[in-house]
């Protein structure tokens, strides 16, 4: 097999997005468009992936990191000019180069693979990935020879004649090139067109005129090839990607009660026999085990959840949740929390930067922040860790088997010993030794016959 290289075009500002965020960084299902493209192309075994950056170069690099190398296109003089910037890294390589746009987030590695195969089989110097569009407006059109059906060239919408505008086959902006030929021919591409830009697709026409073999691979799935230039296309891409992700997880054995109302990030992983109820949103890197019940109306971000866990009407962020845990309704698990197996965090409980050992419970109306809770601890209704004095945060420790009565304030730093009991309504300011009872409230006095 020929060696493979990839060039991703990501230098444009994306004026039509009307956004402060650079176009290729707009997320689709939670992941920047350009990242989708890089993730898919890296599955095709490309030796090196070169991303052409310009607007927002630093931010693009931050997102892609070491998955790509980079060249800078200082002025955005067109897609052909953009690819030319990769010459310093790829110019002398032998092999096949796939060129992709950072704004076509849905093109799958399977389609890229089919393009590579077609390119190789036809022995072409250049192969363009095309699609049949119901509404081709905005895309370059693929002009073929009438008798043979062979590709002649690609014409941009703004340069097309009436007859060419009627062509329904579009250029998806993805191509395979013989690498050396690509950089040789790019030098011949001019900018004498309606936009005054160096067009990459002109390479096709030039090669054809030279008598070289050029070819086209028409994908049957137009929905994959959408180029996102504005927010309307962005919403469409989001819908298509969402359907793709949800369908994938259904095939892996995940139940969706209402697929249309369930939002799964491209990087989420879900175990089989888990049921997702309407309004479930999984953001970023989320891993959910098997046989869980998630939702309704639950948002989980960058967290790991074990198996057979139930999370209803709740928010979980940057935390670890074990197996057979019961969260909610209306609980908030804030970053850096760790809930071991069989923990219960019930309604109106907020947990922040706190660990709960196995089987511990905070069932109702509590704030547990900056705390280490042992195993089999019961935090009664309204237990509060008083962790903040207005300047600093302090740690509360509650050791294994302790029982904290209702409405207790644990003023940190403080430790409740093993199996200790804190009486309801206590405000605890000093450590409680293990195995003991602590009562910290004023005695009740009854004044008999007071009303008389
Ligand atoms: C391009 C194609 C068009 C095709 C469509 C598919 C050209 C001339 N036209 O049009 O035939 O149907 O994609 O979606 O190639 N970019 C740079 N540097 C530049 C210009 C663009 O890096 O100087 C990048 C952009 O960031 C973007 C990609 O190249 O990711 C495509 O550019 P864009 O301006 O969106 O091209 P289209 O008009 O959509
Ligand atoms: Ca585009």
Q: What spacing in Å lies between the alpha carbon of 108 and ligand 2's midpoint?
A: 17
Alpha helices in 104-229 (DSSP H): 109-122, 162-165, 179-186, 202-209
CA distance 286 to 284: 6
Residues 150-162 pLDDT 10s: 999 999 999 999 9
Ligand 1 pocket by C-beta < 6 Å: which residues?
A: 9-12, 24, 52, 54, 73, 76-79, 81-82, 101-104, 139-140, 154, 156, 170-173, 199-201, 227, 229
Residues 81-126 pLDDT 10s: 999 999 999 999 999 999 999 999 999 999 999 999 999 999 999 9
Q: Which token pair is 347?
A: 């309604």
Locate the DSSP E strands across 334-439.
338-339, 344-356, 361-373, 378-379, 384-386, 396-398, 403-404, 409-411, 414-416, 421-422, 427-428, 437-438
Q: Which token pair is 407?
A: 């409405």
For 15, residues 6+ apart whose C-beta sits below 8 A from its C-beta are none
Q: What spacing in Å lies between the alpha carbon of 198 and ligand 2's midpoint?
A: 15
pLDDT at 2: 87
CB atoms under 10 Å from CB of 48, counted, come to: 16
CA distance 341 to 319: 14
pLDDT at 320: 98
pLDDT at 27: 96
pLDDT at 246: 98
Atom of ligand 1 nearest to the CA of 23: 26
pLDDT at 133: 95
Q: What is the 3-state secondary structure (H, E, C) of 205-235?
A: HHHHHCCCCEEEEEECCHHHHCCCCCHHHHH
CA distance 22 to 244: 25
Q: What spacing in Å lies between the alpha carbon of 173 and ligand 1's midpoint?
A: 7
What phi and psi values does residue 194 have, to the nearest 5 degrees?
-65, -25
Q: What spacing in Å lies between the alpha carbon of 217 and ligand 2's midpoint?
A: 19
End-to-end CA distance of the chain: 102
Asked about 364 being catalytic, the answer comes back as yes
Top mutation candidate among 101, 132, 206, 218 for ligand 1, by most atoms within 8 Å of CB: 101
Closest residue to atom 34 of ligand 1, CA basis: 12
pLDDT by position in tens, the chain (length 452)? 789 999 999 999 899 999 999 999 999 999 999 999 999 999 999 999 999 999 999 999 999 999 999 999 999 999 999 999 999 999 999 999 999 999 999 999 999 999 999 999 999 999 999 999 999 999 999 999 999 999 999 999 999 999 999 999 999 999 999 999 999 999 999 999 999 999 999 999 999 999 999 999 999 999 999 999 999 999 999 999 999 999 999 999 999 999 999 999 999 999 999 999 999 999 999 999 999 999 999 999 999 999 999 999 999 999 999 999 999 999 999 999 999 999 999 999 999 999 999 999 999 999 999 999 999 999 999 999 999 999 999 999 999 999 999 999 999 999 999 999 999 999 999 999 999 999 999 999 999 999 99
Closest residue to atom 3 of ligand 1, CA basis: 140
Residues with CB under 5 A from ligand 2 (ion): 103, 227, 229
Q: How many whole angstroms from its chain centre is CA 251?
A: 20
How many residues can be counted in the chain? Answer: 452
């Amino acid at each position: 097999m020929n060696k493979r290289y990839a060039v991703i075009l990501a230098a444009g500002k994306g004026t039509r997005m009307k956004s402060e965020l650079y176009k290729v960084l707009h997320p689709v299902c939670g992941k920047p468009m350009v990242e989708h493209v890089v993730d898919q192309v890296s599955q095709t075994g490309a030796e090196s992936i070169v991303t052409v950056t310009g607007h927002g170069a630093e931010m693009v690099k931050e997102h892609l990191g070491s998955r790509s190398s980079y060249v800078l296109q200082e002025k955005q003089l067109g897609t052909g000019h953009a690819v030319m910037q990769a010459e310093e890294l790829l110019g002398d390589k032998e092999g096949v180069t796939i060129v992709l746009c950072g704004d076509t987030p849905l093109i799958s590695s399977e389609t890229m693979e089919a393009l590579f195969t077609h390119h190789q089989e036809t022995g072409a110097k250049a192969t363009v990935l095309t699609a049949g569009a119901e509404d081709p407006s905005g895309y370059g059109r693929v002009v073929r020879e009438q008798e043979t059906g062979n590709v002649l060239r690609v014409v941009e919408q703004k340069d097309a004649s009436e007859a060419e505008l009627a062509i329904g086959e579009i250029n998806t902006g993805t191509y395979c090139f013989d690498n050396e030929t690509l950089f040789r021919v790019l030098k011949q591409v001019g900018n004498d067109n309606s936009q005054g830009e160096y067009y990459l697709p002109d390479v096709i026409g030039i090669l054809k005129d030279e008598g070289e073999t050029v070819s086209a691979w028409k994908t049957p799935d137009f929905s994959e090839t959408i180029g996102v230039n504005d927010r309307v296309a962005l919403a469409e891409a989001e819908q298509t990607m969402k359907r793709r992700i949800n369908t994938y997880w259904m095939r892996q054995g995940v139940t969706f009660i209402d697929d249309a109302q369930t939002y799964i990030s491209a990087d989420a992983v879900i175990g089989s026999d888990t049921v997702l109820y309407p309004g479930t949103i999984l953001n970023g890197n989320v891993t959910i085990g098997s046989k869980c019940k998630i939702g309704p109306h639950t948002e989980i971000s960058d967290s790991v959840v074990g198996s057979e866990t139930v999370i209803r009407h709740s928010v979980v962020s940057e935390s670890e949740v074990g197996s057979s845990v019961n969260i909610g309704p209306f609980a908030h698990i804030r970053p850096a929390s760790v809930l071991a197996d069989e923990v219960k965090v019930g309604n109106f409980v907020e947990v922040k930067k706190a660990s709960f050992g196995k089987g511990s419970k905070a069932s109702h109306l509590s704030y547990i922040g900056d705390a280490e809770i042992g195993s089999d601890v019961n935090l009664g209704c309204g237990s509060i860790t008083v962790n903040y004095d207005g300047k600093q945060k302090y740690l509360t420790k509650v050791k294994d088997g302790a029982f904290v009565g209702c409405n207790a304030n644990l003023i940190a730093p403080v430790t409740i010993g093993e199996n200790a009991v804190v009486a309801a309504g206590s405000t605890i300011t000093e450590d409680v030794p293990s195995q003991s009872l602590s009562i910290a409230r004023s005695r009740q006095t009854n004044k008999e016959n007071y009303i008389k």
